[in-house]
Amino acid sequence: MNTMSMQDALEDTTDSLDLERIKNKVTSAYRHMLEQAFKKNNPVGSPEDLEKYLELHALSFGPDTGDFDEDSHTLEDMLDRLLKQDDIKPVAEGEKIKLNELVKRRKRAA
């Protein structure tokens, strides 16, 4: 007879809870990023338009398999695709200078 110890049961639960917590943080950060992108591109957009935009671009982790290793690898692959450096354009030197000047002005105003 194969019995599961309390430690084994809690370890599975802890892994699943940690994975859920990570997914919640990623979802929250992604939603915030979407909201900022929407507001930048649609400064007079309505709250209803924002909700439609969020639904259209919602993040999906896919189905949970119940296997922590498989689910964590799926999450890791998704994060790698989201953070792929090839898609990120470097900031031009002139833009860096403008950004630094803006930061300095804000610090002085504060």
List the pLDDT tens digit at each of the 110 positions of the chain. 445 454 454 455 556 678 888 888 888 888 998 999 999 999 999 999 999 999 999 988 888 888 888 888 888 888 887 777 655 566 667 777 777 788 888 778 76
State the pLDDT at residue 91.
Answer: 61
Q: How far apart are alpha carbons 21 and 23 in whole angstroms?
A: 5
Whether the full predicted model's pTM is greater than 0.85, yes or no, is no
CA angle 54–87–93, rounded 5-degree value: 110
